[in-house]
């Protein structure tokens, strides 16, 4: 999501290529930043493991053996090709839009669980193993939907954007693409992609055109805040993640927010250096 949601894609005179292609250097810059962060964490974790290796060796070996035995009993290597084919068919059906997304996933899940675990007891165990995540995610997704409805239905976001545009001095008009890139971190975090890209970005693009700035730059700038959007409470996969790793949403934000902001800022800086965004 995100990269294909830019409203510029709906203009047949512009298309996707003029919007996305110039951003490739920015994406590469973001990749290098992420690799650097990963290297930093890898070095730090290696030092921690070396320091604790002697103390935890025996207990870790026992736990690893138990976990390995449990995981082995759940694997179905003989059904690899069937599961692969089912996954490919599901993806194809999603792309073709044969049925609503929830219906397709329910059908695919039903087939997968019946074929892989024909025993009713095994099916119950698999469902119980993931029941905690399901019960946690569903109400949070509903709550996020209510939040989105309130923010959009009351026109709060429109008022925020209008206020932002009105306070931009004429002397800063040339910096509007960079301003949009920075503010997109906030807007894509507090609202879904569709209302932002189809409701807010066109307004910003029109404002930029009045200042003599190419509206395509606004579309490009609006995409640079996506690293923050993927941590938004409106993204369902976030709750799946925190459920699987056993942490709270606040913990996730406190730990990852600075690195997500860093990714967005690195991509914005790269866009400026490569002349994608005017300053």
pLDDT at 1: 45
Q: What is the reported pTM?
A: 0.63
What mean pLDDT is predicted for residues 56-79? 61
How many Cα atoms sit within 13 Å of 256 on the Cβ side? 19
pLDDT at 4: 46
73 vs 229: which has the higher pLDDT: 229
186-195: pLDDT as tens digits:
888 888 787 7
pLDDT grade for 182, boundaries at 50, 70 and 90: very high
pLDDT at 136: 67
pLDDT grade for 260, boundaries at 50, 70 and 90: very high
| Domains of the chain, residue spans | 80-116, 130-279
91-106: pLDDT as tens digits:
999 888 888 888 998 9
């Amino acid at each position: 999501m995100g990269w294909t949601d830019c409203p510029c894609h709906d203009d047949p005179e512009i298309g996707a290529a003029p919007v996305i292609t110039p951003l490739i250097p920015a994406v590469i810059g973001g990749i290098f930043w992420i690799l650097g962060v990963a290297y930093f964490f890898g070095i730090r974790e290696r030092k921690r493991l070396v320091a604790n290796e002697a103390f935890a060796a025996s207990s870790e070996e026992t736990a690893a053996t138990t976990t390995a035995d449990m995981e082995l009993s759940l694997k179905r290597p003989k059904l690899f090709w069937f599961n692969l084919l089912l996954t490919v068919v599901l993806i194809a059906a999603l792309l073709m839009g044969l049925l609503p997304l929830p219906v397709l996933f329910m059908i695919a899940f039903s087939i997968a669980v019946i074929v892989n675990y024909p025993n009713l007891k095994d099916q119950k165990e698999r469902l119980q193993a993931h029941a905690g995540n399901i019960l946690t995610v569903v109400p949070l997704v509903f709550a996020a939907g209510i939040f989105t409805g309130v923010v959009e239905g009351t026109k709060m976001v429109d008022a925020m954007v209008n206020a932002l545009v009105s306070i931009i001095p004429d002397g800063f008009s040339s910096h509007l693409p960079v301003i949009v890139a920075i503010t997109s971190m906030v807007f894509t975090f507090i609202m879904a992609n569709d209302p932002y890209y189809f409701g807010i970005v066109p307004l910003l693009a029109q404002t930029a055109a009045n200042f003599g700035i190419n509206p395509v730059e606004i579309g490009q700038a609006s995409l640079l805040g996506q690293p923050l959007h993927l941590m938004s409470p409106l993204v369902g996969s976030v709750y799946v993640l925190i459920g699987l790793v056993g942490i709270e949403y606040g913990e996730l934000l406190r730990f990852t927010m600075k690195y997500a902001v860093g990714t967005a800022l690195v991509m914005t800086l790269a866009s400026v250096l490569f002349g994608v965004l005017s300053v």
